[in-house]
Amino acid sequence: MYQLAICEDQEESREALCALCGDILDELETAHTVTAFPSAEALESALTHGASFDLLCLDIIMDGKSGMELARELREYNDQVSILFITSSETHLKEGYSVRPLQYLFKPVRRDELEEALKTDLRLYHQPRNLSLRSAGQTVVLPLSDILYLESRNHTLDVCTEKGRQTFWISLSEVERLLPPGRFCRCHNSYLVNMEHINQIGRREVTLSNGVKLPVSRSCYEAAQDQFVRYLNIK
């Protein structure tokens, strides 16, 4: 679950930014929560009482404590959370680099710029790297980048990599729920393919980077094309 905090003291701007973030993450098929705070003090209190966020969208200039002040204090004990500054002035740009922000966005916030910032944060810091499956009483950890495709065969699942196949007693539908959204697509009822390794999708077959060709069914073609285009745009 991707968790965002929006800290903005102007109610109209705060509500608009929350709605925009929600719309973008819905389109990216990313499970998320967006929590609004009217001041740096309110966000600071939530963090002090155990709230945790992946990304803080901070207005720099606010009544009371500024977003920049909060960011500096936060960096004294938290290097993990991403910070996205929202500002109407270039005054604090140089000062802000000391807290290593993800990006600066100027008001009024443009949708395309916000979308690119969210995509960057998701790609750099919030993508699962492995798939864990049970086999013969053991847990097998498979790097997602190594997986070319997954194939359903006789009530079992073959995970196919450059090194060969491994078989697991799990259905394709079950493993699909374990995979991160937006990385694998179903090109056929019996196949899930890693879009990282796709060279081309045609109406009848998918060609992978190693030359392997997989079938494309009529029922899956349009959805697979849409998912692949979306993946390329996020990549």
Instruction: Read off the tokens for 39.
Output: 């001041």
Count H helices, E strands: the chain? 7, 15
Please report the pLDDT score of residue 10 as a whole number. 94
Separation CA 132–CA 136 (nearest Å): 13
* Alpha-helical segments (H) within the chain: 11-27, 40-48, 67-75, 93-96, 111-125, 172-178, 218-234
Separation CA 181–CA 209 (nearest Å): 21
Could you tell me which residues come within 8 angstroms of residue 70 by beta carbon, excluding any fewer than 6 positions away?
7, 40, 43, 44, 58
Fold of 2-125: Rossmann fold (3.40.50)
- Tell which residue, 214, 194, 200, has the closest CA to residue 144: 194
Please report the pLDDT score of residue 92 as a whole number. 61
The CATH number given to 130-234 is 2.40.50.1020
Summarize pLDDT for 85-117 with one digit per residue, the tens.
998 877 666 665 678 898 899 999 999 999 999
Q: 70 near 20, Cβ under 8 Å? A: no
Average pLDDT, the chain: 91
The residue extents of the domains of the chain are 2-125, 130-234
**What is the three-class DSSP state of 202?**
coil
36: β partners: 6
Please report the pLDDT score of residue 234 as a whole number. 62
Q: For the whole model, what pTM was predicted?
A: 0.63
Split at pLDDT 50, 70, 90, the class of 123 is confident
Please report the pLDDT score of residue 136 as a whole number. 81
Beta pairing class for 164-168 and 156-161: antiparallel
Please report the pLDDT score of residue 172 as a whole number. 95
Read off the pLDDT of each residue in 175-179 and give the average, rounded to a whole number: 90
Please report the pLDDT score of residue 41 as a whole number. 97
Q: 156 near 169, Cβ under 8 Å? A: yes
Separation CA 126–CA 110 (nearest Å): 23
Please report the pLDDT score of residue 181 as a whole number. 76
Separation CA 105–CA 231 (nearest Å): 24
Separation CA 74–CA 108 (nearest Å): 26
Split at pLDDT 50, 70, 90, the class of 79 is confident
DSSP state at residue 122: H
Please report the pLDDT score of residue 96 as a whole number. 59
Separation CA 143–CA 161 (nearest Å): 10
**What is the three-class DSSP state of 66?**
coil
Read off the pLDDT of each residue in 14-30 and give the average, rounded to a whole number: 93
| Residue tagged 């073959």 (tokens) | 158
Summarize pLDDT for 29-73 with one digit per residue, the tens.
788 999 999 999 999 999 999 999 999 999 998 999 999 999 999
Separation CA 75–CA 101 (nearest Å): 10
Please report the pLDDT score of residue 93 as a whole number. 61
Q: 206 near 185, Cβ under 8 Å? A: no
